[in-house]
């Protein structure tokens, strides 16, 4: 399972990607659309969860 330890994922494209079980807890600057990527059991931190909601153009405070 991929582990993105302290990875800056600026500009990375995840489209129809198998990310199941991936560990994004310390990754940053990512945008992943859960509707078109398989992210079951992937791990995220509360600090970077906005990367999953970017497409909705909402503010998380």
Rounded Cα gap, residues 26 and 7, in angstroms:
7
What average pLDDT does this structure show over 48-60?
A: 91
Dihedral sign for Cα 11, 50, 44, 46, please: positive
**Nearest Cα to Cα of residue 30 among 47, 17, 11:** 11
Is the pTM higher than 0.75? The answer reads yes
As given in the structure block, the two tokens for residue 9 are 């994922």
pLDDT at 1: 65
pLDDT in tens, 9-53: 999 999 999 999 999 999 999 999 999 999 999 999 999 999 999
What is the chain's percent helix, strand, coil content, to nearest 5? 10, 10, 75
């Amino acid at each position: 399972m991929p582990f993105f330890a302290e990875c800056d994922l600026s500009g990375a494209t995840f489209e129809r990607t198998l990310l199941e079980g991936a560990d994004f807890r310390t990754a940053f600057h990512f945008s992943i659309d859960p509707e078109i990527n398989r992210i079951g059991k992937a791990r995220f931190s509360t600090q970077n969860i906005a990367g999953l909601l970017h497409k909705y153009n909402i503010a998380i405070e």
